[in-house]
């Protein structure tokens, strides 16, 4: 294979080079490479593809493409079996997760990370600040700025496609958080670690101070930066406040600096947001961050549904994606409560897929509606096999029907012989309709 003459997908696009990854993404999105190339060159679409993640099946992330979803997994103190976690990863990919974020927080995290980038075809993301404490096995305040940067480099070398870095908070944020008295302060795990480190050491945020060095690492391996939103609201009362917007403005500046070095960028967003504020949040991000893809964590549209936050997040995610978000981080029923198990993971993925797909239909993403139209045909024909083929989760659909099977095979036990579809088909065919 010939040596590649570009560092990142963005640089290639800017030079007019059609990379193998861009070609695959264009095909998946039903676009021509000529349509996709300028979007990658301008940063409106990212193709997270670390040059060391050779088994990657690449995806594009951008508001005009199919909305993608991310699944958070990883080993932790309470769930430390690599094989069990790897099974969850592969199940998540099978269910349609386009990205896996490895949030491992226990033991030696490198073998699991490397297993992911050697075996998993989905985009792999990490949050190096979590891993720093684990990697060095030292308390947070003993770590130096160089230690954090070295972990970013390690993740890049291991083949991670995107890294969440909380570069947007600074020492000024400490005063702001104190002054504005948010109800939930900072709820971002990585953001709280960076904040705590700044408070304990008296130093500036290393991910902000040494951003240029980080950009050089990301450029070398083509790691996409996911600019973390440390100040994302953790409850409705904190939504769209000064802390969140002030950080977003800095993320816009950092986006521009990354693009100057051809480094691909996504911007992370809220959080807990009332429905009436979601569209405005998307527009403000698009404007301040110049169209860089928006990666939203939810948003959760109410705070009072623990156990059902996959639903609160799917409602918010659908509205967000319809208004410009490109990438949804899944939320499971275990959010705010516990580490998700396999069933929680499944529920979270399905809820996010529904949100993403519903938004794609509303946005008019190419081909998005086709499967719904096929489902309509299958339902009219009472063709159950064809319905399973269109279903997002055919196993669950089949199991429900089998559990309450109808007397007559051509209907379902919901209305039995009162089946409207059956009556209409027969009426339009001039057939007799037997109800009693
Ligand atoms: S029985 Fe009722 S719910 Fe079932 S397929 Fe017919 S119309 Fe639909």
Q: Rounded distance, CA 40 to CA 360, Å?
A: 20
Say if residue 281 is in the same domain as residue 390: no
Q: Is 73 exposed, middle or buried (0-12, 13-18, 19+ CB in 10 A)?
A: buried
Of 301, 336, 363, the domain-final residue: 363
399 and 411 co-located in one domain: no
To 10 degrees, what angle do helices 242-260 and 171-180 make? 160
> Are 390 and 433 part of one and the same domain?
no
- The reply to whether 216 falls in a domain is yes
**Is residue 4, in this structure, part of any structural domain at all?**
no
Q: Is 147 annotated as a binding residue?
A: no
123 vs 98: CA distance, rounded Å: 6
Q: How high is the pLDDT of residue 367?
A: 96
399 and 418 assigned to the same domain: no
Domain termination residue (choose one: 312, 346, 363): 363
In this structure, the answer to whether residues 411 and 388 fall within a common structural domain is no
For β-strands 68-73 and 327-329, DSSP reports them as: parallel
CA of 420 relative to ligand 1 center, distance in Å: 6
Ligand 1 pocket mutation, candidates 377, 382, 419, criterion most atoms within 8 A of CB: 419
Q: Within 10 Å of residue 242's Cβ, how many Cβ atoms? A: 12
Domain boundary, last residue among 339, 363, 387: 363
To the question of whether residue 325 is assigned a binding role by annotation, the answer is no
Domain match, 418 and 342 both: no
Same domain, 379 and 432: no
Check residue 107 and give its pLDDT. Answer: 85
> Domain residues for 210?
9-363
139 located within any domain: yes
- The domain tally of the chain equals 3
- Ligand 1 test: best mutation among 406, 416, 421, 425, most atoms within 8 Å of CB? 421
Q: How far is the CA of 312 from the centre of ligand 1 (A)?
A: 28
* Position 1 in a domain: no
Residue 243's contacts (CB-CB under 8 Å, 6 or more residues apart) are: 173, 176, 177, 180, 182, 231
Show the beta-strand stretches assigned E in 140-236.
162-165, 224-227
Residue 268, annotated as binding a ligand: yes
Nearest to 76 by CA among 111, 104, 110, 101: 104
d(CA 385, CA 400): 14
Residues 389 and 296 grouped into a single domain: no
Ligand 1 pocket by Cβ (under 6 Å): 411-412, 414-415, 419-422
- Same domain for 303 and 386, yes or no, is no
Domain assignment of residue 126, yes or no: yes
Distance between the two ends of the chain, CA-based, in angstroms?
Answer: 72
Q: How far is the CA of 387 from the centre of ligand 1 (A)?
A: 13
Whether 2 is covered by a domain: the verdict is: no
Check residue 1 and give its pLDDT.
46
pLDDT at 210: 98
| Cα 68 from chain centre | 6
**Does 89 reside within a domain?**
yes
Q: In terms of Cα–Cα distance, which of 224, 298, 314 is closest to 261?
A: 224
| Residue 412 and residue 393 share a domain | no
Q: Which helix (H) or strand (E) holds 230?
A: none
Q: Is residue 76, in this structure, part of any structural domain at all?
A: yes
Domain CATH number, residue 306: 3.20.20.540
Q: Are residues 155 and 13 in the same domain?
A: yes
Q: Which atom of ligand 1 is nearest to the CA of 416?
A: 1
Residues of the chain with pLDDT under 70: 1-2
pLDDT value for 2: 53
Atom of ligand 1 nearest to the CA of 418: 1
Q: State whether 201 and 335 are in the same domain.
A: yes
Q: Is 220 annotated as a binding residue?
A: no
The whole-number pLDDT of residue 297 equals 94
Pair of tokens at residue 413: 């036990």
């Amino acid at each position: 294979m010939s040596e590649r003459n570009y560092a990142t997908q963005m640089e290639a696009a800017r030079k007019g080079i059609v990379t193998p990854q861009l070609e695959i993404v264009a095909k998946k999105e039903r676009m021509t490479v000529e349509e996709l190339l300028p979007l990658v060159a301008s940063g409106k679409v990212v193709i997270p593809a670390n040059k060391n993640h050779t088994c990657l099946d690449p995806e594009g992330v951008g508001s005009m493409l199919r909305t993608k979803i991310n699944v958070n997994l990883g080993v932790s103190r309470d769930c430390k079996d690599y094989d069990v976690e790897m099974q969850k990863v592969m199940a998540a990919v099978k269910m349609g997760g386009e990205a896996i974020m490895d949030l491992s927080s226990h033991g030696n995290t490198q073998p699991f990370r490397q297993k992911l980038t050697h075996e998993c075809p989905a985009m792999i993301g990490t949050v190096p600040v979590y891993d720093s404490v684990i990697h060095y096995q030292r308390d947070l305040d003993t770590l130096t700025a160089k230690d954090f940067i070295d972990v970013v480099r390690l993740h890049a070398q291991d083949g991670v496609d995107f890294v969440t870095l909380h570069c947007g908070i600074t020492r000024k944020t400490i005063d702001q958080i104190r002054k504005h008295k948010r109800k939930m302060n900072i709820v971002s795990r990585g953001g709280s670690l960076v904040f705590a480190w700044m408070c304990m050491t008296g130093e500036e945020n290393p991910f902000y101070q040494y951003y240029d060095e980080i950009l050089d690492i990301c450029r070398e391996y083509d790691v996409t930066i996911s600019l973390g939103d440390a100040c994302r609201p953790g409850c409705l009362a904190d939504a769209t406040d000064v802390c969140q917007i002030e950080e977003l403005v800095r993320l816009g500046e950092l986006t521009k600096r990354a693009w100057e070095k051809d480094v691909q960028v996504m911007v992370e967003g809220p959080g807990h947001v009332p429905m009436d504020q979601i569209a405005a949040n998307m527009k403000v991000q698009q404007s301040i961050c110049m169209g860089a893809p928006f990666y939203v964590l939810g948003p959760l549209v109410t705070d009072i549904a623990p156990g059902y936050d996959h639903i609160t997040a799917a409602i918010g995610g659908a509205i967000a994606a319809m208004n410009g978000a490109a990438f949804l981080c899944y939320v499971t029923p275990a959010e705010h409560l516990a580490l998700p198990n396999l069933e929680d993971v499944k529920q979270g993925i399905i809820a996010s897929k529904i949100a993403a797909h519903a938004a794609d239909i509303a946005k008019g993403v190419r081909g998005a509606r086709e499967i719904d139209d096929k489902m309509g045909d299958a339902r009219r024909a009472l063709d159950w096999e064809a319905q399973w083929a269109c279903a997002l989760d055919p196993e669950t659909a089949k199991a429900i029907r089998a559990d309450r099977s109808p007397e007559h095979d051509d209907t379902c036990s919901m209305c039995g012989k009162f089946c409207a579809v059956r009556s209409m088909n027969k009426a339009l065919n001039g057939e007799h309709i037997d109800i009693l």
